[in-house]
Structure 1
């Protein structure tokens, strides 16, 4: 009898707990819909963030730890503000003056646009972090446009959703835990002198990295479709936030060097004892293009342009996988040309 009573009490407790969690989940979701909050998204990107005011070649990061000049939170009503989101490509291995976001801003300003681009690139981020950064800090800057730089080489790696993103209740508890872990930022390039033609890694180490990424381009890769869907979930959430606040969204598809460098392709294929027919180096781009088109998200795929220009000029820093100065300049020019010919979508 005593055991039966205890069991009934426990069952009632569990029922009340489930009902409470369900109601709390609904309340959090309604609140986040009306007033988007970083609490319900992973804000762990801070562990990769630059140290505020840290030296970066011949430049200093701003007080927010971004590789950009200082900016005002309040936007001039006459200024068109673009937020540049991305990982180490957006942050760049080149000095600030040569970064493609910097160069794009200069090109647009030469056309008499009253415009500013805020580069919020942070190394090692992924689509879920782009969403978190936008919600946590980006929306408060009242942007007119969000530009997401999606790196094909590794932006699929961490795109699978976790329990934290499915449940707002769990996200809230994770937020309370994360409060205990503040960030101090990191010094990334420091006072180094940038050398555009010097390799960053050894041949062996760089080959290992590109071999690890090569499965993205396997013709028989059975996981690629789910990886694309995982990334698209976050891009769609970014789109929903932008649509809700009348913000333009443009996704830039950034190719991995393995997609544009035939010599590197040959080394990777030979090291894995495979054949060229086993690979399609445009495969993830094709999947993403289909999904982005269906979602009505504007995008610019840089792959075909970089494939063509790479025959004429080195566009990636040796053994680094990031663009050199020439690669950044080409990207800035391609994005600039895209913005010029799509006035019906993007009003500058």
Structure 2
């Protein structure tokens, strides 16, 4: 009798465990399905597919484009610019415009759809000119723009330099940068990043293997990636060595919190950004004075972020905060007698329907946004040329 009871109990236990396991598997499968549909993540295989070998080391920026790239619609020319072919030695009859900036200047996979090329097309209706798109070629942060101009940009003999300043991570991007070579005045000649690196295949990574990609049997699960990202943000010291954990904490602060709370909302954390903001003004001053010394005018374009356009779901920006950064920089330029012309795209973007100008699942401008910016910037350049 006792043996029968034991057998019955064992069967009941096995059945209960089987049912529990099945319920757990079905529950996890359901959650996986929901995450894929509602909040899809970048799994390991997708990350590898997206991590194309675009990059090569640079002697002025953390990295720059490889030359002669061909990835679908994305191309670079024989010099590595996301632009038409051009001669390094400027033809004497050409008015040359050089545009520097980050991915907002890069604009689109097909450079013909990026706003610098659209600007060129519109201006060629009545001017003999060319626009060189140095977006990302000259780095992705304002300090590398200065180093690029010193290393290569000025050798192109531009008649005008347009600097696209993205009013979001262009400040935070200065945080991990080190100036390994500088001029006597302290301005950078070579910028390296502690966070963003390039491997031997030309793929960009941050030097740390995140929790989400450590386990081959998990790293293609959207549910796992979502959970692992949360764990890396909230408790990095549980899963990483102390140095890596501190870097992840800094990454999380500068990539999640500062964009809105510090840069726009000013909710008590601006002192943590003050060194980067001081560095931003320092390099912008350096660029302005460098170009002025060469008799090259500069147009500084404030590129409106999706947060300023009030298109982010967690956004509650007051109208005054939308223009806070532009106001601070404009007042600084005026107070210090700097020569650049400043142009804020924000009023024009907000005057229409901003959602029409940005990609749905991205913070960048879509084709229509690039067209608008090309029209607006070409008008400002025409004023400078015809003055």
Normalised to the residue count of structure 1, the TM-score between the two structures is: 0.68
Q: Can you list the C-alpha shifts for 1:244-300, whole angstroms capped at 9, x where unaligned? A: 111111111101101103x42xx224xxxxx65698222112111212333232111
Q: Which residue of 2 aligns with 1:337?
A: 379
Instruction: Note closer, same or farther for the CA distance 1:285–1:75 as it changes in structure 2 (3 Å cut).
Output: same
Show structure 2 runs of 5+ residues with no match. 1-57, 192-196, 205-225, 230-251
Q: Which residue of 1 aligns with 2:61?
A: 45
Bigger CA radius of gyration = 2
Paired residue total = 273
Cα distance in 2 for partners of 1:172, 1:278 equals 35
Contact 2:77 2:83 in 1 (8 A): yes
Contact 2:164 2:303 in 1 (8 A): yes
Q: Which residue of 2 aligns with 1:290?
A: 331
Contact 1:251 1:298 in 2 (8 A): yes
- Across the aligned residues of Structure 1 and Structure 2, the Cα RMSD in angstroms comes to 3.7
How many Å apart are 1:241 and its aligned residue? Answer: 1.4
Asked which structure has the greater RCO (Cα within 8 Å, sep 6+), the reply is 1
Higher mean C-alpha displacement, 314-323 vs 88-97: 88-97
Contact 1:126 1:158 in 2 (8 A): yes
Cα distance in 1 for partners of 2:201, 2:107 equals 17
Q: Which residue of 2 aligns with 1:242?
A: 291
Q: Report whether the alignment pairs 1:328 with 2:370.
A: yes
Return the match for 1:268 from 307, 314, 323: 314
* Secondary structure of 1:67 counterpart: coil
Instruction: Note closer, same or farther for the CA distance 1:298–1:53 as it changes in structure 2 (3 Å cut).
Output: same
Q: Can you list the C-alpha shifts for 1:61-93, whole angstroms capped at 9, x where unaligned? A: 111221112111111111111111011111123
Cα distance in 2 for partners of 1:227, 1:171 equals 14
Show structure 1 runs of 5+ residues with no match. 1-41, 176-180, 189-203, 270-274
Instruction: Note closer, same or farther for the CA distance 1:105–1:172 as it changes in structure 2 (3 Å cut).
Output: closer
How many Å apart are 1:129 and its aligned residue? Answer: 0.5
Normalised to the residue count of structure 2, the TM-score between the two structures is: 0.61
Return the match for 2:92 from 63, 68, 77: 77
* Secondary structure of 1:53 counterpart: coil
Q: Can you list the C-alpha shifts for 1:91-146, whole angstroms capped at 9, x where unaligned? A: 123421110000000000012x1101111111761110000111111111111111
The residue correspondences of 1:92-171 to structure 2 (distance < 5 A) are 92-111=107-126, 113-122=127-136, 125-159=140-174, 164=180, 168=184
